[in-house]
Amino acid sequence: MAFAPIAFASPKQSFKYRLLSAAVLLGLAAIPAVAKAPPHAAVEPKTSPVLLPAEWNRVVNPVPANPALEAKINEILTKLSLEQKVGQMIQPHIGAVTPEEVKAYNIGSILNGGGQNPNDNPNSTAQDWVQLAERFYQASMSSENGRTPIPVIWGIDAVHGHNNLLGATLFPHNIALGATRNPALVKSLAALTAAEVYATGQDWDFAPTLAVAQDDRWGRTYESFSEDPSLVAQLGGKFVEGLQGTAGTKEFLAAKKVLATAKHFIGDGGTQYGDDQGYTAGEEQALLRTHLPGYIAALNAGVQTVMASYSSWNGVHSHANARLMNQLLKGQLGFDGLIVSDWQAISHVPGCALDNCPEAVNAGVDLFMIPNAPEWKNFHANVVAQVKAGVISQARIDDAVRRILRVKLRQGLFSAPSPLQRAAASAGVIGSKEHRALARQAVRESLVLLKNTQGVLPIKPKSKVLVAGLGGNTLVHQTGGWSVTWQGKDVPNDKFPGATSIFAGLADALKAIGGEAQYSEQGTFTSKPDLAVVVLSEEPYAEIQGDIQNLATLELDGTHKSGLKLIQAFKSQGIPVVAVLLSGRPLWVNKELNLADAFVAAWQPGTEGAGVADVLVAKIDGTPNADFNGRLSFSWPATPCQTPLNKTDADYKPLFAFDYGLRYSSSLTPWQPLSESTSEYAYGCRLKNQLPVAKRMEFTAKDGWDWKLELPSFQGSWLGEGASLGALTVKPIKDGVSASWDGKGEARVMLRNKNTPRHDMLAALANQGVLAVDVKLLSPVSAGPGIDVKIWSSPLTSGTVDVSKLLAAWPQGKTQTLSIDLACFAKSFTDFSKVDGPIALQAKRALAVELSNVRYEPGQAKTASISCSQ
């Protein structure tokens, strides 16, 4: 059987697709913004208090109540109309709102998303950021026509330094900071971030992430300090202090300090399979024990804002969880700052849309990150209408605005210098020598030594070293996601002015001790080096794009093994190898570990690559320049599918345990070769886990399934909207569709559902499932390829099985069942948990068929019309 190539979505494509689908929704939302006003209860049902371990009940808000400040809030509130109050509750992105609109709507906050720059200019300078901040600020402070000036506040993701800004100091991501075990350093790094952010006119940082990542397949594992809640709490609290200043001291929210955000509340790191934006399950106590301590620490440090999570807990979306936001966070824990929603996240709440979600308002979200227009405008109209209709109480609005004003007043925004004025006072801070030195210290302290045999480390004086591997001299591999762009990919080195690559750092350090370093990505050389440093790396990623999905495993570079090949090549020529791994999570690297003489986990160190050489390269006398300090903040897997793997597991058998990390002084025991077997998995890791027994599934119109016509370019139309598109003509039949292709182009007819975007088909795959459809050929099919059955997952990924040969053998006019073993799709498709197109028939030649009764059936793989299972 032939397998046609599949269309894998690159992150960029899927991002575009998201924009596209947002634009489609936007079109729909442009219809008059009338509140749909479902019968939501404005009054919270009384539930029993959330039970907390005793010490957690004692969150001490370090920011004392301030009657004068509250009086000021009251005064402002009395001056605002309902419309103006609701304006304060909205946060559009800088490309979708103008300073004029900030003034007209009394907008409370603006943001830029990852990789979004002033004026859409990727080369924006610090001055451009300041200028734009000034324009927004001045608009918000206008007292034109008796308007009450309220400073607008600009929030930004400065998650490892001021990472959107060219020339900023980028320090290692949180996972690496976890390995330093150095809370004071984390505080200093957050303080440098605050100073650089403040300098360009932003007042609010969407950091720190307090996720306690439990399954390292999660694409945000590197944003998590640790799998261990207490380490997250320890470092997260200090990060807050560094950004905001220490509460109770003069520096608190003073100049050069910005507001911190504890995110994402709550359970983002606990999702099943490590799915980003996924489902976290378990008892309330278990949720809190693992995922709450970071918030307790942040509250005790006086954190002023909390961001709700995209994830759900036990079926309740975090943005609608009144018990955890209203009752626990604001009530029992006494949080008096503001809760902000995540990017477009309200649309994920069942029953809500991008522009309409009274559930989230009522559950306790105060400020709404509704990045795009016209959604934010529609949301404004909807909330006003919902207050008038009693769906949202006036008191809830007042409470939300009170919190927003409280945070702004505490931050001193009403009296602070304008962005332009403060920029002058901050001259020279961005990417300063002092900042870079701190970031370099963090790199040094975060390196974890996993193996050191043959005494190859530290690298001796006078050594001639060859540095190889893409990550050795390509900055994106050391900066990772959230670096210049959102995904952090494809950013050329010159977009990191002032940065030092790992190679450059090694070259400098070696030169100082009479040695030298050369770089060759492919490891080629003319004269044999004494030693090779092979930099292994993951591709950069952020959020969902970083998830290791479905059929993939924790193996580094699974298919290409390019780093492994480099190590093999050097070793076969008798050249000792030091492997340096750049990754956002522990990975299965047993083959590389066995072969390399030394192995260092360097995480994603950021712009100061010289910190690697500080530890790897010896002093002139041959003794270590600096010792290894890092200790694993995540358990390291022994097998490619050993995830979730956490130190609290009953049967804890990691390769390297939490806390592991060698020192130069560690005694060198002979290396015991590690298993290199990958037989643990057949289709990837998920199927190893217990999956539920698959049920038969039907895809019927009554559940919202409908046929769509589509061209390979994705241009499409629904069956009801017209009978033909390109080469394809369709008409409805009972429980199906009649479709004919004229042979003059390629097109597909496919099932789609407007309501249920994703279906988890993993269980069906694991249970020998088939995709079945009743087929009647209306004309005979001639021999030759060109007829495929596909399944789709959002956004652009598909699996394909060629059915031409089978159909050519079938009689005309007789209805027969075509069943295809799902394992056949698995050969080219990894996305079974997110199937949103259960079947498509795609042809590029003449064909006339009726398709009906599409279903998945478990247990039929071996007897399918097309079978791939052994």
Can residue 115 be called a binding residue for ligand BGC (CB under 6 A)? yes
Q: Which tokens hold the place of 866? A: 């097309």
Which position among 181, 263, 748, 834 is part of the footprint of ligand BGC (CB under 6 A)? 263
Q: Which stretch binds ligand BGC (CB under 6 A): 110-118, 136-144, 359-367, 818-826?
A: 110-118
- Smallest CA-to-CA distance from 609 within 170, 193, 115 is with 170
Secondary structure letter of residue 209 according to DSSP: B
Which position among 342, 366, 710, 788 is part of the footprint of ligand BGC (CB under 6 A)? 342
Which position among 486, 503, 588, 599 is part of the footprint of ligand BGC (CB under 6 A)? 486
Can residue 319 be called a binding residue for ligand BGC (CB under 6 A)? no
Which position among 88, 106, 116, 474 is part of the footprint of ligand BGC (CB under 6 A)? 116
Query: Strands 716-718 and 705-710: what pairing?
Result: antiparallel
Please report how close the Cβ of residue 340 comes to ligand BGC at its closest, in angstroms: 9
Closer of 357 and 847 to ligand BGC (Cβ): 357
Please report how close the Cβ of residue 343 comes to ligand BGC at its closest, in angstroms: 4
Residues between 539 and 558 that touch ligand BGC (CB under 6 A): 543
The answer to whether residues 232 and 214 touch, using CB atoms and an 8 Å cutoff, is no
Closer of 114 and 726 to ligand BGC (Cβ): 114
The answer to whether residues 848 and 733 touch, using CB atoms and an 8 Å cutoff, is no
Q: Which residue has the tokens 């400073």?
A: 151
Please report how close the Cβ of residue 321 comes to ligand BGC at its closest, in angstroms: 17
Q: Which stretch binds ligand BGC (CB under 6 A): 26-34, 108-116, 377-385, 710-718?
A: 108-116
For 148-191, strand residue ranges (E) read 153-156
Closer of 465 and 542 to ligand BGC (Cβ): 542
Determine the size of the site formed for ligand BGC (CB under 6 A): 12
Q: Which stretch binds ligand BGC (CB under 6 A): 109-117, 126-134, 247-255, 401-409?
A: 109-117
Which position among 313, 343, 376, 792 is part of the footprint of ligand BGC (CB under 6 A)? 343
Please report how close the Cβ of residue 163 comes to ligand BGC at its closest, in angstroms: 11
Q: Which tokens hold the place of 842? A: 């795609």
Please report how close the Cβ of residue 306 comes to ligand BGC at its closest, in angstroms: 12
Q: Which residue has the tokens 């004071």?
A: 184
Can residue 157 be called a binding residue for ligand BGC (CB under 6 A)? yes
Please report how close the Cβ of residue 117 comes to ligand BGC at its closest, in angstroms: 11
Give, for 509, the enclosing helix (H) or strand (E).
helix 502-512
Closer of 205 and 359 to ligand BGC (Cβ): 205
Q: Which stretch binds ligand BGC (CB under 6 A): 112-120, 442-450, 602-610, 686-694?
A: 112-120
Please report how close the Cβ of residue 521 comes to ligand BGC at its closest, in angstroms: 30
Can residue 113 be called a binding residue for ligand BGC (CB under 6 A)? yes
Count CA atoms closer than 13 A to 793's CA, side-chain side. Answer: 22
- Smallest CA-to-CA distance from 303 within 241, 379, 395 is with 241
Residues between 171 and 210 that touch ligand BGC (CB under 6 A): 206
Secondary structure letter of residue 331 according to DSSP: I
Positions annotated as catalytic residues are 342, 543
CA distances (Å), 446 to each of 207, 241, 433, 533, 857, in order?
Answer: 20, 21, 20, 18, 50
Query: Strands 464-468 and 516-519: what pairing?
Result: parallel
Query: Strands 531-537 and 577-582: what pairing?
Result: parallel
The answer to whether residues 88 and 150 touch, using CB atoms and an 8 Å cutoff, is yes
Closer of 268 and 592 to ligand BGC (Cβ): 268
Q: Which stretch binds ligand BGC (CB under 6 A): 37-45, 107-115, 733-741, 840-848?
A: 107-115
The answer to whether residues 172 and 447 touch, using CB atoms and an 8 Å cutoff, is no
Phi, psi values for residue 654, rounded to 5°: -75, 170
The answer to whether residues 774 and 851 touch, using CB atoms and an 8 Å cutoff, is yes
- Smallest CA-to-CA distance from 396 within 369, 361, 370 is with 361
Q: Which tokens hold the place of 356? A: 């309409």
CB-nearest residue to ligand BGC? 113
The answer to whether residues 533 and 465 touch, using CB atoms and an 8 Å cutoff, is yes
Which position among 114, 237, 270, 364 is part of the footprint of ligand BGC (CB under 6 A)? 114
Please report how close the Cβ of residue 318 comes to ligand BGC at its closest, in angstroms: 11
Can residue 227 be called a binding residue for ligand BGC (CB under 6 A)? no
Please report how close the Cβ of residue 751 comes to ligand BGC at its closest, in angstroms: 27
CA distances (Å), 371 to each of 92, 108, 113, 336, 792, in order?
Answer: 4, 13, 8, 25, 28
For 469-596, strand residue ranges (E) read 516-519, 531-537, 577-582
Terminal Cα-to-Cα distance of the chain (whole angstroms): 15
Can residue 705 be called a binding residue for ligand BGC (CB under 6 A)? no
Closer of 482 and 741 to ligand BGC (Cβ): 482
Can residue 225 be called a binding residue for ligand BGC (CB under 6 A)? no
Closer of 206 and 741 to ligand BGC (Cβ): 206
Question: What distance in Å separates the CA atoms of residue 499 and residue 527, rounded to the nearest whole number?
Answer: 29
Handedness of CA 705, 793, 115, 219 (dihedral sign): positive
Q: Which residue has the tokens 């073993």?
A: 821
Closer of 239 and 310 to ligand BGC (Cβ): 310
Please report how close the Cβ of residue 373 comes to ligand BGC at its closest, in angstroms: 15
Interface residues with ligand BGC (CB under 6 A) are 113-116, 157, 206, 263, 310, 342-343, 486, 543
